[in-house]
Amino acid sequence: MGAITRRQVEHVARLARLELTEEEIDLFTTQLGDILKWVDKLQELDTTDVEPTAHTIPLRNVMRKDEVKPSWPKEEILKNASDEHNGFFRVPRILEEE
């Protein structure tokens, strides 16, 4: 068994709303498996004295003042909308109520 199963690839694809063909699933199972094997290889390094990090650049506390800046014109904002109505983005209906 590889580092990742077909089933896991299908699951991840579904979460990302990606529709994959059988061939693509095979391909990605192999490719993702290879990537994970490389990560396993990295695990062999001794990192006892290394601080865990989530960021590659040693920055911290990058913040801005709480100041209002002009927003974009509504026309610009809606320009890329696939559909609009009365200044709203219009999307397929979402059901919420019982």
Kindly list the residues in this chain that would bind other proteins in the complex (CB under 8 A): 14-15, 17, 54-57, 59-72, 74, 77-78, 80, 83, 85-98
Q: Shortest Cβ distance from residue 46 to other proteins (Å)? A: 23
Which of 44/72 has CB closer to other proteins?
A: 72
Taking the complex as a whole, the smallest distance from the CB of residue 39 to other proteins amounts, in Å, to 14
The residue among 39, 30, 41, 32 whose CA lies nearest residue 12 is 32
The residue among 96, 78, 97, 76 whose CA lies nearest residue 87 is 78
- Secondary element (H or E) of residue 79: none
Q: Of 43 and 71, which CB lies nearer to other proteins in the complex structure?
A: 71
| C-alpha to C-alpha distance for 94 and 96, rounded to whole angstroms | 6
By C-beta, is 48 or 58 nearer to other proteins? 58
- Tell the smallest beta-carbon distance from residue 47 to other proteins (Å): 17
